[in-house]
Structure 1
């Protein structure tokens, strides 16, 4: 008997204290690397809770970081999944018609007690670097 995995539920929204901890950890990592970045943290409804724009970060990254965080929450998955689907072409190109899906790596859902409570989005460098910084931020949620 083949059972489908249960979808991950949405939880109570991330608190401001948790959002600050996540964003600060990401910002500290970006600083250690010397990468000027923008870090956005949204709640489980995709609403902005915290936004850090480091000195010299490109202004275009403000909107992109928020879009990555919101996309990770709305679709309950890392934005890397959309980037890979689009890069694969073929049927993956239908992603272009999916409103709110950001096909740039660097957005992660924030999960606590098995539920999505928010998202983190990082922008400013190559998408793999954005993803590294987002992962450090997300790991601070468990601390």
Structure 2
């Protein structure tokens, strides 16, 4: 039987805390979501001052990154380059930059999605969270 790593609750808490610290250090009011490899929500937090809609967008970005096994930014780029058929991809709603897969030993074990500031800043926060696993 094959075995693969997975995100434990302690891992999720470390990722979330590091992402939150990055957001707070930059005074960015965001929502942060962590999902497992199937896109199931494990963690969601909306920092004070973050727009309510960000609490829906962050999990969608994370789910897209987990299920697609790639950053959600790639879908946004494909759509912007004219491949609008991806707008109808089943189960994918967060086709915006800001979802980053968590990769351990070559396996996507989940993803982090962030929403609330510029997309590149959302990614910065997500990657800071993921870095906590190293």
The answer to whether the superposition gives a TM-score over 0.5 is yes
Residue matched to 2:96: 104
- Paired residues for 1:3-18 under 5 Å: 11-18=4-11
Q: After alignment, is 120-129 or 100-109 more displaced?
A: 100-109
Give, in whole Å, the separation in 2 of the partners of 1:12 and 1:45: 13
User: What's the counterpart of residue 86 of structure 2?
Assistant: 95
CA distance in 2, matches of 1:140, 1:29: 11
Contact 2:5 2:104 in 1 (8 A): no
Aligned length: 131
Normalising by structure 2, report the TM-score: 0.92
Q: Which runs of 5+ in 1 are unaligned?
A: 1-9
Unmatched tracts of structure 2, length 5 or more = none
For residue 77 of structure 2, the aligned residue among 84, 93, 96 is 84
- Asked whether 1:141 is paired with 2:118, we answer no
Q: How well do the aligned residues superpose, as a CA RMSD in angstroms? A: 1.4
The alpha-carbon deviation at position 37 of structure 1 amounts to 0.5
Distance 1:84 1:100 in 2: 18
Query: In terms of Rg, which structure is larger?
Result: 1
Structure 1 pair 58/11, CA: closer, same or farther in 2 (3 Å)?
A: farther
